Amino acid sequence: MRKFLSKLFFIFSYERLISILVNTQAIIHNLNQFSKRYDVAIAPVLKSNAYGHGLVEVGKIVDIQSIPFVCVDTFYEATQLRKNRVKKPIVIIGYTPLETILKNNFKNISFAVISIEELLRLKSINVKVSIHLKIDTGMHRHGILLEEVDLAMQIIKQHDNLFLEGVYSHFADADVNNSILTESQIENWNSVVRQIKEEIQTVKYFHCGQTAGSFYSNKLDANVVRLGIGLYGINSGLNTSLNLQLVLQIKTRITSIKTIKAGERIGYSGAHIVKRDTRVATIPMGYNEGIDRRLSDKGIVLVNGISCNILGRVSMNITSIDVSDIPSIQLDDEVVVISDNRSDENSIENIAKQCGTIPYEITVHFPESLQRHVM
């Protein structure tokens, strides 16, 4: 009966108004760029819906690549990968409640331990759990403090159900040249790794660097780099020789067209006054669909390869654009909202600069409800 009702409600497929295109070859290319440049294994980071690119979609792409594991932030993300048949080992690098750890039925999932309190709580478990111990080397967010490492080693060695598969940390300032903080973290990390290797010889993975931190791989006693934003074509580090390709492109269509007389106002609060008779079109995207509201009256989109200014305020589901320079504009004409060409004004990196923020913030705001199309 349920299947019948499902077919009844979805009796025909329909064309969506917005397409998020994810380039498979660009992901593989970026992964290979880091693999060739640094003599460590690369672990893709798929947290936050793969930085907005699509958790399951990207998960399936990297699942058939030569990687040690993938990283997610939550147990929910791990379940989504497993339910969609992504088989690579998963490391959950965010906090997981004890009751969730104990109820886990999925194989090859390791859990982060991000505080000494959490490790003390795990002493009571009666099932074997694979863990990655986070060390606070100086960022002072998550992690076991340096003075707590001795206690952590004692607890782990005394409890057979705690399998220490990995040890990791995170840089706070790796994208800044000659950072004193980064140098201090490298020193702290290498010291802790030497200690742990002496006390527990079975630890398989040591990972201290994210995308920016990969630059310091030759200074680190580590065998894995967690590749986050770099996987998606954005270089947050100091290595300018990496030839990365942007992975994501977003397209939509023209949904209305009208001519507005000079002196008329457009949008909420009449924020934009046209100085000439202007051909104004709308697209079915606003800040709900990921067009940052800070692009109001200053962002651009591409129509037939021509830059069209955003007019007035970006609304929740609608944005107005100036199409006066587009000959023979019609309903349903294609609009490139996010370009995968780095030099275009509406590439992720250039949008971030316009908004005075980082590319991460732009990409993670593309909602999961928008369908990703893997190319």
Q: What is the CATH number of domain 248-339+341-374?
A: 2.40.37.10
- Closest CA relative to residue 237, chosen from 275, 209, 267: 209
Residue 332 CB neighbour total at 10 angstroms = 11
Alpha helix segments (H runs only) across 133-279: 149-158, 180-199
Residue spans of the chain under pLDDT 50? none
Asked if residue 375 lies in contact with residue 26, where contact means CB atoms within 8 angstroms, the answer is no
pTM above 0.85, yes or no: yes
One fold for 24-232 and 248-339+341-374: no
The SS3 assignment for 42 reads: strand
pLDDT score of 268: 96
Q: Which amino acid is at 102?
A: L
How is residue 191 written in tokens?
Answer: 């010291």
Place of tokens 């920016």: 212
- Closest CA relative to residue 274, chosen from 324, 316, 214, 207: 324
Q: How far apart are CA 284 and CA 255, in angstroms?
A: 7
4, exposed or middle or buried, with CB in 10 Å at 0-12, 13-18, 19+?
A: exposed
Q: How far apart are CA 20 and CA 287, in angstroms?
A: 15
- Closest CA relative to residue 129, chosen from 153, 98, 154: 98
Q: How far apart are CA 91 and CA 45, in angstroms?
A: 9
Asked if residue 116 lies in contact with residue 145, where contact means CB atoms within 8 angstroms, the answer is yes
Q: How far apart are CA 134 and CA 339, in angstroms?
A: 37
Q: Which CATH superfamily is domain 24-232 in?
A: Alanine racemase (3.20.20.10)
pLDDT score of 2: 63
pLDDT score of 13: 72
The residues with which 132 forms a beta bridge, in sequence order, are: 112, 166
The SS3 assignment for 68 reads: coil
Question: Within its chain, how far is the Cα of 26 from the centroid?
Answer: 15
Q: Hey, where are the domains in the chain? A: 24-232, 248-339+341-374
